[in-house]
């Protein structure tokens, strides 16, 4: 799918790089891992800063509680595991021991979405955006490439309060550049357009770019917005898009129930209602398969985005 010339790097690598920057910049940053140290790239930090790394074994609930304690005494803990185990297994610990106390624990959920591939449903996190954004005080960030992942990681450390960072396993095209602006909570308009707006997060931003190219060939001018922060959501950008383009498509590697698309719909429905079509996993668990097959299987390809855009435009009338 990806352009041959584009550099391909997993967002979890960007996270690992971000941790290395933080390791150097801020002595209070510590890292915890629930027996997935290499996979989450926490190992990069562990190698350089062994005294600030804590292996917690296969014990996510305890890891997030321990991270809360470290935050209470002034550390900035990054607690790492797969997205499923972070957001699901330890949800009540994150709710009570972290979010309720508004502690500066940074939750790194890697291996998100169906791009995990063959490991199947138990390891394919499709619910974290929903599970995390409903918690008061929580910030949720879904970077689209490794550079954005690195910047989100570094910026997360500066935020007072908990942050959930969603990363993927598979290499994805590097689409942002150092000179691009990035700020948690501020969506990036990647392409201007007047007929329709496409919102995407994570690796779906690239797929949405391809869809915009196709729409352009069909004479449809699509605005493309990288909504890397589902919470706190950039209301201004969304409402402006509703006013100026009058129709929307949301694209996420996540269930369509409660995710980024729902968050956008909540804003639009209450501020400036326009038709919205949602591209995402339709209330299903994942399955084993190669990532590319799975994107086809669940209808998360540029083709699906184009179809959704045509439907939204029809609804717009």
Partner 1 sequence: MKRPNVLELQKKAIGIRKDILKMLMIARSGHTGGSLSAVDILVALYYYKLKNDPARPGWKERDRFLLSKGHACPALYAVLADKGYFPRDLLWTLRRLGSPLQGHPQMGLSGIEISSGSLGQGLSIADGIALGARMDGLDIRVYCLMGDGETNEGQIWEAAMTAAHYKLDNVCGIVDCNRLQIDGFCCDVKDPGALKHKWQNFGWNTIEIDGHDIKALMDAYDEAQGIKGRPTMIIANTVKGKGVSFIENKVEWHGVAPKAEEYEKAILELDEALKSLK
Q: Which residues bind partner 1 (CB under 8 A)?
A: 30, 51-52, 54, 56-57, 59, 61-75, 77, 92-93, 95-97, 100-101
Closest to partner 1 by CB, 59 vs 189, is 59
Q: Name beta bridge partners: 276.
A: 248
Closest to partner 1 by CB, 59 vs 170, is 59
Task: Give me 131's structure tokens.
Answer: 């599970």
Which of these, 216, 228, 208, 217, lies nearest to 277 by C-alpha position? 208
User: Which parts of the chain fold into alpha helices (H)?
Assistant: 11-25, 42-48, 60-72, 83-84, 91-93, 128-133, 146-156, 204-217, 235-245, 260-271, 291-297, 302-316
Per residue in 191-220, is it b (16+ CB within 10 Å) or e — as a string?
A: bebebbbbbbbbbbbbbbbbbbeebeeeeb
Catalytic site residue 60?
yes
Closest to partner 1 by CB, 8 vs 101, is 101
Taking the complex as a whole, the smallest distance from the CB of residue 163 to partner 1 amounts, in Å, to 17
Closest to partner 1 by CB, 38 vs 92, is 92
CA atoms within 13 A on the CB side of 6: 16
Taking the complex as a whole, the smallest distance from the CB of residue 102 to partner 1 amounts, in Å, to 9
Closest to partner 1 by CB, 27 vs 47, is 27
Rounded to whole angstroms, the Cα distance separating 258 from 128 reads 9
Instruction: Work out the number of other CB atoms within 10 angstroms of the CB of residue 123.
Output: 18
Taking the complex as a whole, the smallest distance from the CB of residue 35 to partner 1 amounts, in Å, to 12
Task: Tell me if residue 79 falls in helix, strand or coil.
Answer: strand
Instruction: Work out the number of other CB atoms within 10 angstroms of the CB of residue 187.
Output: 22
Task: Tell me if residue 100 falls in helix, strand or coil.
Answer: coil
Kind plus residue range of the DSSP H or E element containing 76: strand 76-82
Closest to partner 1 by CB, 69 vs 118, is 69
Contact by Cβ (8 Å): 192, 27 = no
Which among 17, 60, 127, 252 is annotated as catalytic?
Answer: 60
Task: Tell me if residue 19 falls in helix, strand or coil.
Answer: helix
Residues carrying an active site annotation:
60
């Amino acid at each position: 799918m990806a352009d041959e010339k584009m550099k391909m790097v997993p967002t979890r690598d960007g996270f690992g790089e971000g941790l290395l920057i933080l390791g150097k910049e801020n002595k209070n940053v510590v890292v915890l891992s629930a027996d997935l140290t290499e996979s989450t790239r926490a190992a990069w930090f562990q190698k350089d800063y062994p005294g600030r790394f804590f292996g917690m074994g296969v014990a996510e609930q305890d890891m997030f509680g321990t991270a809360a304690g470290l935050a209470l005494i002034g550390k900035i803990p990054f607690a790492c595991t797969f997205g499923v185990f972070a957001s699901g297994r330890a949800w009540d610990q994150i709710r009570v021991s972290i979010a309720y106390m508004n502690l500066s624990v940074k939750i790194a959920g890697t291996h998100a979405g169906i791009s995990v591939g063959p490991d199947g449903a138990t390891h394919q996190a499709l619910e974290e955006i929903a599970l995390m954004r409903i918690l008061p005080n929580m910030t949720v960030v879904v970077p689209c490439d490794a550079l954005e992942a690195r910047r989100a990681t570094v910026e997360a450390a500066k935020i007072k309060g908990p942050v959930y960072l969603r990363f993927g396993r598979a290499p994805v095209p590097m689409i942002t550049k150092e000179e691009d602006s990035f700020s948690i909570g501020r969506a990036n308009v990647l392409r201007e357009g007047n007929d329709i707006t496409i919102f995407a997060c994570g690796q779906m931003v690239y797929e949405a770019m391809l869809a915009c190219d196709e729409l352009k060939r069909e004479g449809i001018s699509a605005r493309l917005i990288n909504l890397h922060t589902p919470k706190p959501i950039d209301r201004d950008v969304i409402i402006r898009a509703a006013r100026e383009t009058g129709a929307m498509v949301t694209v996420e590697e996540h269930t369509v129930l409660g995710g980024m698309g729902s968050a956008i719909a909540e804003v639009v429905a209450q501020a400036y209602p326009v038709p919205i079509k949602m591209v995402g996993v339709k209330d299903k668990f994942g399955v084993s398969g190669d990532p590319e097959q799975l994107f086809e299987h669940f209808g998360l390809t540029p083709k699906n985005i184009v179809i959704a855009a045509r439907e939204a435009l029809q609804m717009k009338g």
